[in-house]
Amino acid sequence: MRTLADLGDLNGRRVFVRVDFNTPLTDGGEVADDTRIRAALPTLTELRRRGARLVIAAHLGRPKGADPAFSLAPVAARLSELLGTDVPLAPDLGAVPDADVVMIENVRFHEGETKDDPELAARYAALADVYVDDAFGAAHRAHASNHAIAKLLPSAAGLLLQREVETLTGILEAPPRPMVAIVGGAKVTDKIGVLDAFLQRADTVLIGGAMCFPFFKAQGHAVGASLCEEEGLEPARRVLTGPHADKLVLPVDLVCGAAFDAGTEVTPVDGVDVPDGLMGLDVGPKTAERYGALIRAAGSVFWNGPMGAFELAPFAAGTKAVAEAVAACPGTTVVGGGDSAAALQQFGLGDTVTHLSTGGGASLELIEGKSLPGVEVLS
């Protein structure tokens, strides 16, 4: 993968930088969480240090055409504050101001963006001399601003994209031992590729969230009203009878409720059989203690997916215990974006891990062994 070191002299050259600024906004239209903007600052700062002039491109949400509700204006304003320089927003590709740093409007305002349209890519390329991709969160998509354009200009990965790929591939290829993978979330079918990858490579795989219920049902346990996808039963049976089943660790107790609601009555269950009318919404304290001990003793940890409905206070304890254990682990700790990253931030632990990925879907596809178009085009 080509990196910034391969680009040579950038002094006075215009660099089109694709970043992932898909940030949440407040009701008042301001940036609610600038984590992704801050993650791109090292690349932007390094390019400016080398004398480059920047044309910054990003997407926000999934607009249907040019929708003002999805404008990058609040993002440009926040980036201006973080960079300490004015970052004007160009609403039209035909009228991009001649500034040291400029941001173009939401690339998904253009119909051809998600179609990897070469004509749109050519319009992007006409704005610059060099292309840099730092949007790991979009690397699993082949779009005009992160794929087709890279074929038209000298191109390279930014510092964030480089770090994401090297860290995630590194924990697969040469992880410090013992390696513990924590896989949670709602559906086995969403994570079966990740499970298969870690059952082959990790020493221990801890399961949490609603995805544990197809495993329990396959073992003959009652799941009550818990979220239990029928499509997940066959993959669960395959894992339970597979050659790496001894690496799999399932919960031993649960915290249940009658409804997915913070006000529902909380019912601890010592065991994994869920009573009729109740749903499992978190792992129990015995499971949290067991998982925590394994995580803290690990040489490396990869975590993707919560242990339960951590957004509901009565059912957040399991995810919090895992987050605290990951934070306390002295080894290499990698968190694969998405809800796990949100949980770390919720519990004030975002700065405690070795690497917090900015790309949930991209990180999972990379671990599954899938090709990432936004990375492959830079190779």
Which residues are designated catalytic? 36, 187, 338, 361
Q: What is the DSSP string of 188-199?
A: HHHHHHHHHHHH
Quote the DSSP letter at residue 260. Answer: S
DSSP H or E run through 18: strand 14-18
Q: How far is CA 307 from the centre of its chain?
A: 17
The residues, any chain, with a CB within 8 Å of residue 98's CB and separated by 6 or more, are: none
Residue that is written with structure tokens 């009228």 in the block = 95
Closest to 363 (Cα-Cα) out of 378, 341, 344: 341
Q: Give dist(CA 187, CA 254) in Å, integer.
A: 17
Question: Residue 113 carries which side chain, given as an amino acid letter?
Answer: E
CB 307 within 8 A of CB 286: no
Q: Which of 7, 76, 97, 75 is nearest to 43 (CA)?
A: 7
Residue 39 in 3-state DSSP? helix
Tokens of 292: 């925590």
DSSP 27: T
Q: How many CB atoms lie within 10 A of CB 340?
A: 29
Question: How many whole angstroms separate alpha carbon 301 and alpha carbon 326?
Answer: 7
Helix (H, G, I), strand (E, B) or coil at 229: coil
